[in-house]
Amino acid sequence: MRWLVFFSLLFIAVWANSLIGTTDVNNWLIENTLTVLSLLFLIFTYSKFRFSNFSYFLICIFLCLHVYGSKYTYAENLFGYWLQDLLHSSRNQYDRLVHFSFGLLLYYPLQEYLLKWFKIPKYVALKLPVLIILSASALYEIIEWLVADVFFVEEGISYLGTQGDVWDSQKDMLVAFLGVLLASLLHYLYRRSKPTN
């Protein structure tokens, strides 16, 4: 329980900092819609289903990365500029980092959720998160398009953060897929390394 309190306080501090120092309040509000929905899900299901401390840690890290991105907009994120210089890239890489983290960090909590809540067979729970992450990535890109081109046209460019790349959506989905594949491989190797009784 104390770890969950620590993760919650850490997230609240990062979230508050992202709002206080934001360069674009409208973009911050749009970006954090899914954050609020995620938090509501975690809060309202807590009495019925509790993740392990490790899963809460991974979820916390992902949400912190996401809300930090909303502070400056993803395309103008300061850490992303540092990555851009480090990698000698033509674009701010923060957006790609968060999409990769979506797959990498949420594989295990999703697997745990499927195993413990839905009681699906273990061999399915090991593979299904890969498909869910890839599907969720595609759905998120569709939501991005709707938000930017239909509902909040004025904020569209800031929200999308494509930085002139016409293949941005496809690349975002690819890095999320690579993240979840890496997470599933690491999980598989970890399970193989554990001694069997």
Q: How confident is the model at residue 197 (pLDDT cuts 50, 70, 90)?
A: low
Residue 62: which of 136, 161, 155 has the closest Cα?
136
Count other C-beta atoms under 10 Å from residue 40's C-beta: 10
Q: What is the mean pLDDT of residues 73-91?
A: 84
Compute the half-sphere exposure of residue 85: CA atoms within 13 Å on the CB side of its CA.
5
Q: Determine phi and psi for 150, rounding to 5 degrees.
A: -115, -50
CA distances from 112 to 26, 115, 144, 182, 197 (A): 35, 5, 28, 17, 22
Domain ranges of the chain: 2-192
The answer to whether residues 112 and 50 touch, using CB atoms and an 8 Å cutoff, is: no
Taking only the tens place, the pLDDT of each residue in 26-70 is 878 888 888 999 999 999 999 888 999 999 999 999 999 999 988
Lowest-confidence segment of 88-97, 109-118, 166-175, 178-187 by average pLDDT: 166-175
Task: Decide if pLDDT at 4 tops 80.
Answer: yes
Is the model more confident about 139 or about 149?
A: 139
State the pLDDT at residue 39: 93
Q: Which two tokens stand for residue 162?
A: 């494509």
The answer to whether residues 188 and 172 touch, using CB atoms and an 8 Å cutoff, is: no
State the pLDDT at residue 53: 93
Q: What is the mean pLDDT of residues 143-147?
A: 75
Burial of 156-177, coded b for 16+ CB within 10 Å and e otherwise, reads: bebbbbbbeeeebbeebbbbbb
Residue 184: which of 176, 172, 173, 195 has the closest Cα?
176
* Average pLDDT across the chain, whole number: 86
Task: Decide if pLDDT at 162 tops 60.
Answer: no
